[in-house]
C-alpha cells in the first residue's frame, strides 16, 4: 500500500523520481516492481467486468472535475436552423465509446478503422478483426490481447442460449412479419430475465447500477446472433434451424447459424459486425437507446427502442435502399453499363426528385472509411463480382455528378453504398434482413456506452422544446 503511494506519477515531475532513486534505491526499485506488477495485472486480466470496474473510479473523478471546473463553460451556439433541422450540430450529449471526425471518419475510443484493423485480434492470420475485440475496446478504451478476446468469446458462448419463450413469441407472429419487427419483439421478450430491472426493484444503490446493467448487456449481446439467425431461418428457410457451433466466434456463429459457412462469409460477418458497431451518439438508434436508458429502463427495453429507430428508411434501411437502387440500374442499363449511360441515369434520378442512396453523410466530408475497408475486402476476395464492379463504377460517377449540382456538402459514398453488394455475393440476398445484421452489430457500441452511462451516473435526458411562436419572439429580440 505504501509502495504504491511512493511511485512517482508523471505529473509529479522528474525531480521527485530522481531524488527517490538516489536517496532510497531499494525502496525505489520495489516501488517500480509494484507499479509494473499492477500494470501487468491490468493488461493481462481476461475478465472484462473486472477491467471495467478498475477503470470506473478514475473516470468518475474525471467527470466530477469537468463539471466542477468547467460546468458553466459555453461549448456552442444554437441557431434556428439547428432547432428545426433535427438538432444537427448541437453539442448536447456525452458519448465516450466513439467520435465521428469529418475527415478521419469514426474513431473507436480514439482509433480509426485502419488502426483497429491493424491492432485488433483476428480469427485467422491477416484476417478481419473479431468483434469481441471491438467490444473490449469500447468497454475499456484499451486494445485487447488475443487471450482477452478469446475469453470474451467464451463468455458470450456461455450466455448465448435463448429461453424457450423467445421462440414461442416469434412463432406467434406471421412468418412474413418484417424481420426488424420480429427482432425488436424478440429483444423485448428477453426482458423477463433482466438483472437490472430486478436489482432496481430490490433497491440497489445507484453506485452499483452499472453491474447488473453490464450483466444484462453481455447477456443480450451474447443472444443476438441466435435471435437474428432464428428470424432469418424461420422467415426465409421454413424454420429449418442450424445449431450454434461450439468453437466459432460470435460473428462467425451468426453466419453459420444463418447457413453461410464459407471462409469468405465468416470473414465478411466479422468485418461487418466490427465496422457497424458504433457511430457516436447522435444517430437515431444510438440516441434513442441512450435516451430511454437515461430513464433507467434496462438494456433490453433501451436497445429495443433503439432498434425501432434503426428500422426507419432514413437510418438502418439505407443499405437496403442502395441495393434496390442498384438493381434498378441493372434492370435499366444491364449489369455492365458504360460510364456515360450510368452518368445519365444518376442525373435522371436527381431530376426526378430522388436521391442516390448510399452517398452523402451528415458529418463526414470525405469517403466513409467504412466504405473504403469494404471496398478493400471486395478487391481481395471478390474482384470480379458483377455487382462489385457496378458499385466501383458508381464510385467514379456519382460524386462528380453530385459536385456539379452545387447542393451537396458531401458527395462521397458512405458505409451503405457497399455492404449490400458484399452480403449478396456470399448468398445473403434477402435485403429486408440487412437491417437486422446492422442491429446486431450496433449493440456493441450502444450497450457499452449504456454501461458507462450508469457507471458515471448520467441523469435523465430532458432537452427544452419551443414552439414556432417562441422562435419568432426570440428572433425579434
CA-CA distances (angstroms) from residue 451 to 64, 85, 150, 199, 454? 18, 30, 21, 15, 5
Instruction: Write the CB contacts of 187 (distance below 8 Å, at least 6 apart in sequence).
Output: 220, 224, 227, 300, 303, 304, 307
Q: Strands, DSSP E only, in 309-418? A: none
Torsions phi, psi for 330 (to 5 deg): -60, -40
298 is catalytic: no
In this structure, are residues 74 and 333 in contact, taking their beta carbons and an 8 Å threshold? no
Which residues have a Cβ under 8 Å from the Cβ of 432 and sit 6 or more positions away? 178, 179, 320
Dist. CA 167–CA 165, nearest whole Å: 5
Q: What are phi and psi of 255, to 5 degrees?
A: -60, -45
User: Quick one: angle between helices 416-425 and 386-405, nearest 10?
Assistant: 170
Of 290, 361, 418, 425, which residue is the catalytic one?
361
Q: Please name which of 158, 187, 164, 88 lies closest in space to residue 442, comparing C-alpha atoms.
A: 187
- Give the closest residue to 44 by CA, choosing from 150, 142, 148: 148
Rounded Cα distance between 147 and 145, Å, is: 5
Give the helix/strand (H/E) hosting 417. Answer: helix 416-425
C-alpha span between 117 and 377 (Å, rounded) = 12
Answer yes or no: 256 catalytic.
no
Known catalytic residue at 416: yes
Instruction: Out of 178, 245, 315, 381, pick the active-site residue.
Output: 315
The number of angstroms, rounded, from the C-alpha of 400 to the middle of its chain's C-alpha atoms is 30
Beta carbons of 355 and 348 less than 8 angstroms apart: no
Q: Give the separation between CA 74 and CA 115, rounded to whole angstroms.
A: 33
Q: One of 216, 219, 278, 416 is an active-site residue; which one?
A: 416
Q: Would you name the residues annotated as active-site residues?
A: 315, 361, 416
Amino acid at each position: 500500500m505504501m509502495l504504491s503511494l511512493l511511485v512517482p506519477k508523471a505529473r509529479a515531475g522528474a525531480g521527485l523520481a530522481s531524488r527517490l532513486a538516489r536517496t532510497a534505491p531499494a525502496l525505489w526499485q520495489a516501488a517500480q516492481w509494484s507499479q509494473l506488477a499492477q500494470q501487468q495485472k491490468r493488461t493481462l486480466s481476461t475478465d472484462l467486468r473486472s477491467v471495467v470496474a478498475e477503470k470506473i473510479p478514475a473516470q468518475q473523478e474525471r467527470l466530477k472535475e469537468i463539471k466542477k471546473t468547467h460546468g458553466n463553460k459555453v461549448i456552442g451556439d444554437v441557431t434556428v436552423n439547428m432547432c428545426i433541422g433535427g438538432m444537427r450540430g448541437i453539442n448536447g450529449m456525452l458519448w465516450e465509446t466513439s467520435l465521428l471526425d469529418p475527415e478521419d471518419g469514426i474513431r473507436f475510443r480514439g482509433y480509426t478503422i485502419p488502426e483497429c484493423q491493424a491492432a485488433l485480434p483476428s480469427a485467422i492470420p491477416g484476417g478481419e478483426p473479431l468483434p469481441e475485440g471491438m467490444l473490449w475496446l469500447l468497454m475499456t478504451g484499451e486494445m485487447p490481447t488475443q487471450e482477452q478476446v478469446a475469453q470474451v468469446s467464451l463468455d458470450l458462448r456461455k450466455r448465448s442460449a435463448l429461453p424457450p419463450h423467445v421462440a414461442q413469441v416469434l412463432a406467434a407472429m406471421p412468418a412474413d412479419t418484417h424481420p426488424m419487427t420480429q427482432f425488436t419483439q424478440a429483444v423485448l421478450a428477453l426482458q423477463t430475465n433482466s438483472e437490472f430491472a430486478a436489482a432496481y426493484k430490490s433497491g440497489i444503490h445507484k453506485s452499483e447500477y452499472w453491474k447488473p446493467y453490464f450483466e444484462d448487456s453481455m447477456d443480450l449481446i451474447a443472444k443476438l446472433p441466435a435471435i437474428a439467425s432464428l428470424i432469418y431461418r424461420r422467415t426465409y428457410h421454413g424454420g429449418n434451424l442450424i445449431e450454434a457451433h461450439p468453437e466459432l466466434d460470435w460473428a462467425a456463429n451468426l453466419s453459420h447459424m444463418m447457413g453461410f459457412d464459407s471462409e469468405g462469409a465468416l470473414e465478411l460477418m466479422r468485418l461487418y459486425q466490427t465496422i457497424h458497431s458504433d457511430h457516436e451518439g447522435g444517430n437515431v438508434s444510438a440516441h434513442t437507446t441512450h435516451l430511454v436508458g437515461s430513464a433507467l429502463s434496462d438494456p433490453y427495453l433501451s436497445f429495443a427502442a433503439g432498434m425501432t429507430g434503426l428500422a426507419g428508411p432514413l437510418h438502418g434501411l439505407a443499405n437496403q435502399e442502395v441495393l434496390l437502387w442498384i438493381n434498378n440500374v441493372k434492370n435499366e442499363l444491364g449489369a455492365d453499363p458504360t460510364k456515360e449511360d450510368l452518368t445519365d441515369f444518376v442525373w435522371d434520378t436527381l431530376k426526378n426528385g430522388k436521391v442516390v442512396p448510399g452517398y452523402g453523410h451528415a458529418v463526414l466530408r470525405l469517403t466513409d472509411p467504412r466504405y473504403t475497408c469494404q471496398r478493400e475486402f471486395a478487391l481481395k476476395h471478390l474482384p470480379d463480382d458483377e455487382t462489385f464492379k457496378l458499385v466501383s463504377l458508381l464510385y467514379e460517377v456519382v460524386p462528380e455528378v453530385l459536385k456539379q449540382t452545387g447542393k451537396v456538402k458531401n458527395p462521397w459514398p458512405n458505409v451503405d453504398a457497399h455492404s449490400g453488394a458484399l452480403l449478396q455475393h456470399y448468398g445473403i440476398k434477402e435485403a429486408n434482413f440487412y437491417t437486422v445484421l446492422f442491429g446486431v452489430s450496433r449493440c456493441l457500441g450502444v450497450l457499452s456506452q449504456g454501461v458507462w452511462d450508469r457507471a458515471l451516473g448520467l441523469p435523465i435526458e430532458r432537452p427544452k422544446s419551443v414552439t414556432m411562436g417562441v422562435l419568432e419572439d426570440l428572433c425579434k429580440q
